[in-house]
Amino acid sequence: MLDIKLLRTEPELVRENLRKKFQEEKLPLVDEVVELDRRSREARAKGDALRNRRNSLSKEIGVAMAEDRREDAERKKTLVTEMAQELADLEALEEKLASEIREKMMRLPNIIDPSVPIGRNDGDNVEVERFGEPAVPDFEIPYHVDIMERFRGIDLDSARKTSGNGFYYLVGDIARLHSAVLSYARDFMIDRGFTYCIPPFMIRENVVSGVMSFAERASMMYKIEGEDLYLIGTSEHSMIGKFIDTLIDEESLPQAWTSYSPCFRKEVGAHGIEERGVYRIHQFEKQEMIVVCKPEESSEWFVKLYRNTVDFFRSLNVPVRTLECCSGDLADLKVKSIDVEAWSPRQHKYFEVGSCSNLGDAQARRLGIRVKNKEKGNYFAHTLNNTVTAPPRMLIAFLENNLKEDGSVAVPASLRPYMGGTEAIVCPA
């Protein structure tokens, strides 16, 4: 959510940002918010004037009673009584206007960073850098489900019976690999100075509204029927919610967390869910990074976060690239975002395995996350998040890039301690 002062002083900047994000349909919101804000401040000023007058009259009533000027005191009491209703009406109007302003402000996107490329959709995203050689072996790389089935490691048919498309059973060595990758990711981030956390997997509506836009919620979140609870789509949601309505000591910043959680997503608008495949699914697990920091530190942390993912995947022999998200592809709360994409030797292309985002103070404004500073005054923190790894999608890249011609899958040295020392996964006889 933007600072209302920005709309008062620089409404054209907000309009230009909407144009850069190709959201011209929201342009009328700027004038509507400005007008509502004017009316709100006017009502507040009238209310303040009335309160001051009421306080003065109350003092005058006390003096009149002390001097036995009862008629004068009663007349002024009548005035105070009349003011009470006017004040109640003004307070109700202020509350109504504040609600309307917030609702409209929540629909306005964050101001994007000047470095963000301008484009309408993900087709206009810009490659930044490649890490590792995107090789294609001489032998054929099977579809990822076929690889898993060779190891008797996945059962989609049973999952379809119990839960429908977009779910899976992982079995045996593939299930063990899945857990090993998450355990390695946890320790990888702890070794980089992040504090490990397992958060709640359900959150209330006010937290949902604080961490994501309305459009994201509609396409992602599962609502628990009859309760004020949603299943999280990523642990970022509950981790940022952890700081709701807090005043953080500046000395405790930055705070760097790495969190594990299952994730649940409706995947609305995803062109359906594959019957065979674990690329786009309703349920998965993820290791995440979350940072709460000072505004002047968020750009530096942004780079650190996506480089952590790059380094993690490279340690597992998976080539990756970074892709700068264009203006039209940025979710409304994001200032800047970079996707990390893994190489698929089967498809001869990269696919997304993580997304790093700087949200500026948007989430902090919505959730009331402030930093205490006695000299300069309290201010809103900046928040960032990034994916370390999200199997089973990550397993697609791992299996394809570590598959050998004999059908076995090499286990990189970094992962072997989590696989009982196993150097290769071999198809069962």
Q: What is the dihedral of CA 220, 238, 248, 377, to 10 degrees?
A: 20
Count Cβ atoms within 10 A of the Cβ of residue 264 and give its class: 0-12 exposed, 13-18 middle, 19 or more buried: buried
d(CA 234, CA 264): 8
Kindly state the tokens that stand for 191: 């070794």
d(CA 409, CA 399): 7
Reported as half-sphere exposure (CB side, CA atoms, 13 A), residue 383 has a value of 31
The arrangement of strands across the sheet holding 369-372 comes to 246-249, 369-372, 379-380
Kindly state the tokens that stand for 406: 């004999």
Candidates 129, 331, 125; CA nearest to 212 is 331
Which residue type sits at 174? Answer: I
Which residue type sits at 357? Answer: S
Count of other CB atoms within 10 angstroms of residue 252: 10
d(CA 253, CA 240): 14
Q: Are 348 and 140 in contact (CB under 8 A)?
A: no
Cα distances (angstroms) measured from residue 131 to each of 124, 214, 306: 21, 35, 12
DSSP state string for 356-375: EEE-TTHHHHHHTEEEE-TT
Q: Are 424 and 404 in contact (CB under 8 A)?
A: yes
Q: Are 387 and 312 in contact (CB under 8 A)?
A: no
Q: Are 60 and 51 in contact (CB under 8 A)?
A: no
Count Cβ atoms within 10 A of the Cβ of residue 329 and give its class: 0-12 exposed, 13-18 middle, 19 or more buried: buried
For 265-335, list the strands marked E by DSSP.
283-293, 320-324
Omega before residue 254 within 30° of 0, cis? yes
Active site residues: 265, 280, 352, 355, 393
Cα-atom radius of gyration of the chain, to the nearest Å?
A: 28
DSSP 3-state assignment of 111?
A: coil
